[in-house]
């Protein structure tokens, strides 16, 4: 039975499904989920992420975290954590670069939050010399200084969508019509958690809510506020998102999110305002375009140094990768980053409060 058939049977038995439950099943169903079964990254996969585009991304992040670690007194032991590490490429590049900083690797305990057993296997291979540990829930992060990175993790968390109807909201759900999965709208209901969105929306507007994001960030901020550390979050999205941003990608092309559940990546834009509300125990930086951040950390100097070792097609690919990561019309502007540090600590390099 395919995931599509399973979901259709479930909806016929129990009624329309909430969108967050649909997205969860598509991404993480134990037998048929997209992340559970596939290793979707890279040029052969369905999409490519910044660390898979160039080693420079992970290197600069590793050095930025190592600088924050030095600024806070080189506390050891400490946790070096990643949320949703994919193939482990970012962490491997970060560790290689940060190994130049005396004491950093020896003091680091690598902790990975990863839901997909298939990707855990890949991470195990990529990071075998660093003996990583995996956790299932964020509150399993050790009670010690915590330096954490998340790239394209929050966009994979399930969202709900609501359409405004007067001062109430109709929730978008997934139903079945003529044997096909289709979107529908539930009855108009008050949504106390969405009160603040009555200020900037009008009748018929669609907004999104990612309930899982804030508790994750709030646990991370509490760790960092109590023990020291820093977090760097990268994702695509904006301040207070408006409209339908759910997208499915399959084979580097956009797809219909309802057509082949479990076989396409599903993501939604991240609402940075909602994320930043959850980090109040710490100081947060401004939300900064990825391109600006990487330029401030010296990506162009690193690109030039690497270019000296390359020629022909490899050099062309390297130049294209640099542009792709930083150019405003590529990932440079759509992707944003922010950092958090304990109150009173120096902000991460490349970011400002």
Q: Which residues bind ligand SAH (CB under 6 A)?
A: 27, 35, 41, 49, 51-52, 84-86, 90, 113-116, 119, 151-153, 156-157
Give whichever of 84 and 145 is closer to ligand SAH, judged by the CB atom: 84
Helix (H), strand (E), coil (C) string for 182-241? EEEEEEEECCHHHHHHHCCCCCCCEEEECCCHHHHHHHHHHHHHHHCEEEEEEEEEECCC
DSSP-assigned letter for residue 138: G
- To the nearest whole angstrom, how small is the minimum distance from the Cβ of residue 179 to ligand SAH? 29
d(CA 141, CA 120): 17
Distance CA 170, CA 162 (A): 5
State the CB neighbour count (10 A cutoff) for residue 150: 23
> What is the nearest approach in angstroms of ligand SAH to the Cβ of residue 267?
8
Residue 37 · residue 28 · CB < 8 Å: no
Chain residue whose CB lies nearest ligand SAH: 84
11 or 138: CB nearest ligand SAH: 138
Output the smallest distance, CB 176 to ligand SAH, in A. 26
Q: Measured from the CB atom, is 157 or 275 closer to ligand SAH?
A: 157
Select 93 or 171, whichever has its Cβ closest to ligand SAH. 93
Q: Which is nearer to ligand SAH, 52 or 208 (CB)?
A: 52
- Burial level of 316, CB count in 10 A (0-12/13-18/19+)? exposed
Q: Would you tell me how many other CB atoms lie within 10 Å of the CB of residue 211?
A: 13
Count helices and strands (H / E) in the chain: 14, 17
Minimal distance, residue 52 CB to ligand SAH, in Å = 6
> What is the nearest approach in angstroms of ligand SAH to the Cβ of residue 227?
22
Joined tokens for residue 317: 């690919």
Nearest to ligand SAH of 152, 171 (CB atom): 152
- The distance of closest approach from Cβ of residue 264 to ligand SAH in the complex, given in angstroms and rounded to an integer, is 13
Q: How far is the CB of 117 from ligand SAH (least distance, A)?
A: 10
Cα separation values, 60 from 2, 292, 294, 350, 351, Å:
42, 13, 7, 10, 13
CB nearer to ligand SAH: pick between 8 and 97: 97
Q: How many C-beta atoms surround the C-beta of residue 186 within 10 A?
A: 16
CA 188 to chain centre: 31
Which of 90, 92 has the CB closer to ligand SAH? Answer: 90
Distance CA(291)–CA(118), nearest Å, equals 31
Q: At closest approach, how far in Å is the CB of 141 from ligand SAH?
A: 13
- Which pairs count as long-range contacts for 306-312, CB under 8 Å and 24+ apart, including other chains? 306/55, 306/56
């Amino acid at each position: 039975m395919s995931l599509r058939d399973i979901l259709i049977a479930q909806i016929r038995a129990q009624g329309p499904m909430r969108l967050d439950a649909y997205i969860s099943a598509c991404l993480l169903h134990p037998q048929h989920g997209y992340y559970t079964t596939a290793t979707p990254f890279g040029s052969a996969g369905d999409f490519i992420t910044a660390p898979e585009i160039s080693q420079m991304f992970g290197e600069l992040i590793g050095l930025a975290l190592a600088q924050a670690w030095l600024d806070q007194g080189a506390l050891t032991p400490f946790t070096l954590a990643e949320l949703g590490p994919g193939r482990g490429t970012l962490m491997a590049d970060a560790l290689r670069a940060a190994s130049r900083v005396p004491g950093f690797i020896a003091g680091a305990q690598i902790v990975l939050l990863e839901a997909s057993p298939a990707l855990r296997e890949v991470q195990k291979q990529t990071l075998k010399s660093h003996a990583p540990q995996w956790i299932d829930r964020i509150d399993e992060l050790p009670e010690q200084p915590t330096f954490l990175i998340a790239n394209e993790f929050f966009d994979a968390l399930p969202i709900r969508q609501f359409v405004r109807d007067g001062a109430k909201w109709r929730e978008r759900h997934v139903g079945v019509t003529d044997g096909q999965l289709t979107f529908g709208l539930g009855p108009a209901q008050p949504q106390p958690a969405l009160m603040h969105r009555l200020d900037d929306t009008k009748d018929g507007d669609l907004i999104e809510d990612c309930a899982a994001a804030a508790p994750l960030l709030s646990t991370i901020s509490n760790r960092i506020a109590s023990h020291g550390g820093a977090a760097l979050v990268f994702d695509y999205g904006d301040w207070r998102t408006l409209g339908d941003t759910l997208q499915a990608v399959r084979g580097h092309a956009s797809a219909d999110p309802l057509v082949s559940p479990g076989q396409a990546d599903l993501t939604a834009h991240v609402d940075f305002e909602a994320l930043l509300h959850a980090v109040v125990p710490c100081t947060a930086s401004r939300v900064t375009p990825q391109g600006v951040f990487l330029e401030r950390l010296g990506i162009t100097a690193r690109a030039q140094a690497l270019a000296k070792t390359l020629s022909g097609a490899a050099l062309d690919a390297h130049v294209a990768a640099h542009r792709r990561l930083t150019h405003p019309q590529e990932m440079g502007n759509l992707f944003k980053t922010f950092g958090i540090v304990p109150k009173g600590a120096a902000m991460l390099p490349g970011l400002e409060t």
